[in-house]
Amino acid sequence: MIHHSLLAMSWMLPEQASSYAPEVDHLYEFLVGTTIFFCVLIFAAILFFFVKYRRRSSDEIPRPIAGSMVLESAWTIIPFIISLFMFAWGAKIYLQEYTIPNDALDIYVVGKQWMWKFQHPEGQREINELHLPVGRKIRFIMATEDVIHSFFIPAFRMKEDIVPGPNRYTTVWAEPTMTGQFHIFCAEYCGTSHSGMIGWVTVMNDRDYQNWLSGGAAEGSMADRGASLFQQLGCITCHRSDAQGQCPRLEGIYGKEQLMSDGQKVVADDSYIRESVLSPLAKIVAGYQPIMPSFQGQVSEEQIQELIAYIKSIGPPETTNATPGTMKGSTKISAPGSNPAAKPPIMTTGGATIVAPQTEKAQPAQLPQQTPGQNQ
Ligand code: CUA
């Protein structure tokens, strides 16, 4: 119904470098086109009436007008339909942009005064530069270390505020459709050097991306680094993989629903894990005591993301018999003995936990999900 060719604004917009960019532009063109159309119509009518109904003599008295039902209905109903159409179109794009695909590649983003920090699951870290493969859906998992920032890649038509707070990751996705270099901006005023909080995203073909990936990450994958942190910070002394600790086991929880002490059920996703690290008392897993200290100020946002990558790597859901840790980019961690933090995982079979006999005494009160008698 609209002739994009007449209204095409590509000459004044950045390249369309993501899968949904063309549709965003079409909506934008429609909005601008509609605005121009009514603007011209209204100003033309004003000028026309201005001349046609001008006062011709000083004693002229205009004929009274009682109104026109047809005219008033028309100028109510037509704009109503047009604005509903705009709403429906916008909502469709919104849902598309905010429904994260399952098969997306995760990129962790941290905004900080005044830089963008990126982590790839394979371990690469970048500042103000981001390398991405073309034709892959990318999920950006974003947090801020201080104030509100807004992650903006104009060529992707993607802009998302990153809001501080312990229980919040912001996610958004995009699929780059062309190789090249594109601007990254911060689109929320965040202090003195806000305008310097910029960078480049480099979209590469898959082979170049794989080459690039294999070039770095001397410190191992994100999950590897998370595993060392898990040990350094002492998490491992309490969250023990043998279910003898005083804290919930973390194997296999990622992405699964957990029962809280108040009866609430929470999916153990990135935001939940981040909240548990920063304000552990916010949600207590049923059957456990609120004894965990906050790690606020002790771990950086990137370290939290590494811890999450580690937890993700120890026992993905739905693969109870597979070797845990087979998640992309975390293979090193799954090799038993390769990393002291990653103890050989416990096998779970149909919900029952098989635990190696332990010398320490068991604490059945804190093991709510165990079958009675299972522990011995
Ligand atoms: Cu960060 Cu503006």
User: Residue 368 domain-assigned?
Assistant: no
- 152 shares a domain with 232: no
Contact 202, 120 (CB under 8 A): no
pLDDT along the chain (376 residues), means of 10: 52 86 92 94 95 86 86 93 95 90 89 90 86 92 90 93 81 92 94 92 90 73 78 76 70 79 81 78 78 77 81 62 40 37 39 38 40 40
Nearest to 35 by CA among 82, 71, 100, 3: 82
Nearest-atom index, ligand 1, CA of 113: 1
Instruction: Say if 192 falls within a structural domain.
Output: yes
List, chain by chain if needed, residues with CB within 6 Å of any ligand 1 atom. 111, 114, 149, 186, 188-190, 194, 197
Q: Return contacts of 267-272, CB within 8 angstroms, 24+ apart.
A: 270/141, 270/169, 270/171, 270/305, 270/308, 271/167, 271/168, 271/169, 272/167
Ligand 1 centroid from CA 114, angstroms: 7
Q: Is residue 375 part of a domain?
A: no
Whole-number percent of the chain with pLDDT over 90? 34
CA of residue 320 to ligand 1 center, whole Å = 43
Do 228 and 337 fall into the same domain? yes
**Per-residue pLDDT tens digits for 157-200:** 999 999 887 667 888 999 999 999 999 999 999 999 999 999 99
The pLDDT tens digits for 74-127 are 999 999 999 999 999 999 999 988 888 888 888 999 998 999 999 888 878 888
Q: Could you tell me the CATH number of the domain that includes residue 196?
A: 2.60.40.420
Whether 204 and 252 share a structural domain: no
What is the C-alpha to C-alpha distance for residues 65 and 57, in angstroms, rounded to an integer? 20
Whichever domain contains 251, its CATH number is 1.10.760.10
Tell me if 148 is assigned to some domain.
yes
Q: How many domains does the chain have?
A: 3
In a domain, 365, yes or no: no
Q: Are residues 190 and 247 in the same domain?
A: no
Domain that holds residue 28: 2-51+69-98
Per-residue confidence (pLDDT) for residue 336, from 0 to 100: 37
For the CA of 114, the closest atom of ligand 1 is: 1
Examine residue 372 and state whether it is found in any structural domain, yes or no.
no
Residues 245 and 326 in one domain: yes
Same domain, 109 and 94: no
pLDDT number for residue 218: 64
> What are the DSSP calls for 290-326, one per residue?
S-PPP-TTTS-HHHHHHHHHHHHHSS-TT-SSSPTT-
Identify whether residues 195 and 280 lie together within a single domain. Answer: no
